[in-house]
Amino acid sequence: MMFIDVQGTLIDDSHKQPIRGAVALIDTLNSRQIPYMVVTNNTKRSSSDFWYYLTSVGLHIPREHYLDPLMTLESMVPKTAVAAYGASEFLAVLSAMGYTLDYANPQAVLLAIKEDFCADEYAQMIDFLLSGASLVGMHETTIYAKHSKRYPGVGAILKMLEFATSQSYAVVGKPSKAFYAEALRRLRWQQHDAQYERITMVSDDVKGDLSGAAALGMKTVFVLSGKYKNQEEIIPYLHERERPDAVYGDVYDVWKARLQE
């Protein structure tokens, strides 16, 4: 059984096309009826639109095998006034979902990702948090890779805001326990006795995805096709409990080592 990340794992960060081995991996899981969930931190498209995009580029993921934080957002953040920060596409998706964007007196600061946050936006977030708004991250990624650059991820920005305001935060998507619990619940539609200990999580974010999975008992596979150029950039600096069980170049290597007949 598998949980599989998308950006940097199944599709590349530059052109959003399947990474080597991604199509073979999904096709093999489907043909062998191996239970799996694709768990992505997508926030820039509606869930249905992004799932459809993945299928359109050859990743034939059944709809019920797909989960993103937009699908669980309402269970954590009511449709009240929120000050949302992230790409314009994210703000548009929130509005379409029925959220009110309020930059005067918000109930919550809701953080997604973009590459060009400015100091004034951080200052506004801090003011809202010090005035009593709650802090919620759509996910807790470490690094946002785009245009061959690596920007601070949502998790890094959440840590900064927490330090600045002493305000704790909640996380909607990976690696929150609630998100992985929802993924497990859906995986049990495929295999009723699925347990974390029998699941392998595959991702390019060793700290933002895999450490949370490992804490729940999952096996972890780190792929070097996204955020990191080589394992020496990150693994030597991780605590022993955060280190992955295996490291591969990309999902082709995962497929070849674990699933190829």
> 85 pairs with which residues across the strands?
111
How much is the mean pLDDT over the chain? 97
pLDDT at 147: 86
Rounded CA separation 137/24 (Å): 33
Rounded CA separation 170/178 (Å): 10
Tokens representing 96?
């379409």
pLDDT at 229 over 80: yes
pTM value surpassing 0.75: yes
Helices 22-31 & 251-258 angle (0-180, nearest 10): 40
Domain covering 73-171: architecture: 3-Layer(aba) Sandwich (3.40)
pLDDT at 151 over 90: yes
Fold assignment, 2-71+175-258: Rossmann fold (3.40.50)
The residue length of the chain stands at 261
* Residue that has been written with the tokens 């950039």 in this structure: 233
pLDDT at 260: 76
The residue ranges of every structural domain in the chain are 2-71+175-258, 73-171
pLDDT at 111: 99
Q: In the chain, pLDDT over 70 holds for what percent of residues?
A: 100
pLDDT at 119: 98
pLDDT at 247 over 90: yes
Q: In the chain, pLDDT over 90 holds for what percent of residues?
A: 96
Edge to edge, what strands does the sheet with 36-39 contain?
66-67, 36-39, 2-4, 200-203, 219-223, 246-248
Same fold: 2-71+175-258 with 73-171? yes
> What are the helix and strand counts (H, E) for the chain?
9, 13
pLDDT at 6: 99
pLDDT at 261: 54
